[in-house]
Amino acid sequence: FSDEIPTIDLSSLEDTHHDKTAIAKEIAEACKRWGFFQVINHGLPSALRHRVEKTAAEFFNLTTEEKRKVKRDEVNPMGYHDEEHTKNVRDWKEIFDFFLQDSTIVPASPEPEDTELRKLTNQWPQNPSHFREVCQEYAREVEKLAFRLLELVSISLGLPGDRLTGFFNEQTSFLRFNHYPPCPNPELALGVGRHKDGGALTVLAQDSVGGLQVSRRSDGQWIPVKPISDALIINMGNCIQVWTNDEYWSAEHRVVVNTSKERFSIPFFFFPSHEANIEPLEELISEENPPCYKKYNWGKFFVSRNRSDFKKLEVENIQIDHFKA
Ligand code: AKG
């Protein structure tokens, strides 16, 4: 068993004539074994990353009263939140979320028979004054990288590079700033409890503190994801696991707390359009490899995850296992 998630160098993508198959092969290997890898020389400007990290820290440094002016509510899941729960257990962190598209269309309710849609808009704090501008600049760059990765994932499956692009016409992607304060009782809490990401893929910037752990596909052991300066962590979400009929893996991950240091991280959750229906891709199924999942609608999945998260119902969040064929 290998005990470290792979690091993939994307520098050869800069050369437009370069054949992408070598990188695609590394991605295929990483997605099957881990569902997680790190990328270096990924093209996202390091100065911009540092600017957004600094801006996020400035926001979290405001008073609670100030931060709660942009608090999320029952209708709008975007904004500030200091009572995040994963599977009904409170996480040791505070967050700020914003959609990539300043207004994003989602279903009004998770009920399958309700066809009403709702437009959600971001909530921007007044302070720091440059907050919105920096966030949106970073979002545009990270989106570019996400589309490049989506293309590589398609190629790695032997499909045309644009095979998955159509699912993202009106994407519901969002970014999250995570702030994990030091925690005096590390045995009692987790920064984030074990979970899988629901969307297509996640691009995560973590700082140098560490704490993210991934469940290894082969045996479920928790393996730390080592901080590498300027690298980004990429993980496959549930949609990719379903599209590939379980060939690629959406790994469980969690964040352990630190007793003395605060930690910051910034995931970008690359999510399909609300109208996208997710099921194993027809090119990847056959008589010998029948579909493991039934079709489900992304928008309904998205709002139902959000709702159960918000109301802390006595049920577990909706999972792809609920759509097992
Ligand atoms: C999440 O926000 O869902 C995460 O998994 C965060 C991971 C991290 O902070 O490293």
Chain mean pLDDT for the chain: 93
Looking at residue 317, its pLDDT comes to 62
267 ligand 1 Cβ < 6 A: yes
Best probe residue, ligand 1, of 174, 175, 253, 266 (max atoms within 8 Å of C-beta): 253
Give me 123's structure tokens: 């909530």
Looking at residue 313, its pLDDT comes to 45
135 ligand 1 Cβ < 6 A: no
Predicted confidence (pLDDT) at residue 309 exceeds the cutoff of 60: no
Predicted confidence (pLDDT) at residue 315 exceeds the cutoff of 60: no
Least confident of 9-13, 47-51, 294-298, 311-315: 311-315
Best probe residue, ligand 1, of 177, 178, 190 (max atoms within 8 Å of C-beta): 178
Average confidence (pLDDT) over 191-214: 96
Complex ipTM > 0.90: yes
| Chain center to CA of 255 | 14
Atom of ligand 1 nearest to the CA of 233: 10
Give the model confidence (pLDDT) of 76-122 as tens digits. 999 999 887 776 677 889 999 999 999 999 999 989 899 999 999 99
Give the model confidence (pLDDT) of 147-174 as tens digits. 999 999 999 999 999 999 999 999 999 9
Looking at residue 61, its pLDDT comes to 97
Helices (H) and strands (E) in the chain, counts: 6, 18
Looking at residue 170, its pLDDT comes to 96
Q: Which amino acid is at 44?
A: L
> d(Cα 37, Cα 27) in Å, to the nearest integer?
8
Predicted confidence (pLDDT) at residue 300 exceeds the cutoff of 80: yes
85 versus 207: which is more confidently predicted? 207
Looking at residue 258, its pLDDT comes to 93
232 ligand 1 Cβ < 6 A: no
Looking at residue 321, its pLDDT comes to 82
pTM, entire model: 0.95
> d(Cα 5, Cα 216) in Å, to the nearest integer?
9
Question: Quick check: bond before 128 cis, omega within 30?
Answer: yes
Contacts of 229 (CB under 8 A, 6+ apart): 208
Looking at residue 25, its pLDDT comes to 97
Separation of CA 165 and ligand 1 centre (Å):
25
Give the model confidence (pLDDT) of 35-63 as tens digits. 999 999 999 999 999 999 999 999 999 99
215 ligand 1 Cβ < 6 A: no
Average confidence (pLDDT) over 200-218: 97
CA-based nearest residue to 195, from 172, 212, 173, 218: 212
> d(Cα 39, Cα 168) in Å, to the nearest integer?
22
Separation of CA 129 and ligand 1 centre (Å):
26
What share of the chain in percent tops pLDDT 70?
95
Q: Which amino acid is at 262?
A: E
Average confidence (pLDDT) over 62-75: 93
Q: Are residues 30 and 8 in contact, defined by beta-carbon separation less than 8 angstroms?
A: yes
Most confident of the following: 190-194, 255-259, 314-318 = 255-259
Separation of CA 205 and ligand 1 centre (Å):
9
Atom of ligand 1 nearest to the CA of 212: 10
Least confident of 62-66, 135-139, 235-239, 311-315: 311-315
Predicted confidence (pLDDT) at residue 310 exceeds the cutoff of 60: no
Q: Identify the burial level of 187 via C-beta atoms within 10 angstroms of its C-beta, where 0-12 means exposed, 13-18 middle and 19 or more buried.
A: exposed
Looking at residue 312, its pLDDT comes to 47
28 ligand 1 Cβ < 6 A: no
> d(Cα 285, Cα 245) in Å, to the nearest integer?
7
> d(Cα 299, Cα 171) in Å, to the nearest integer?
10
Separation of CA 201 and ligand 1 centre (Å):
13
Best probe residue, ligand 1, of 196, 206, 265, 269 (max atoms within 8 Å of C-beta): 265
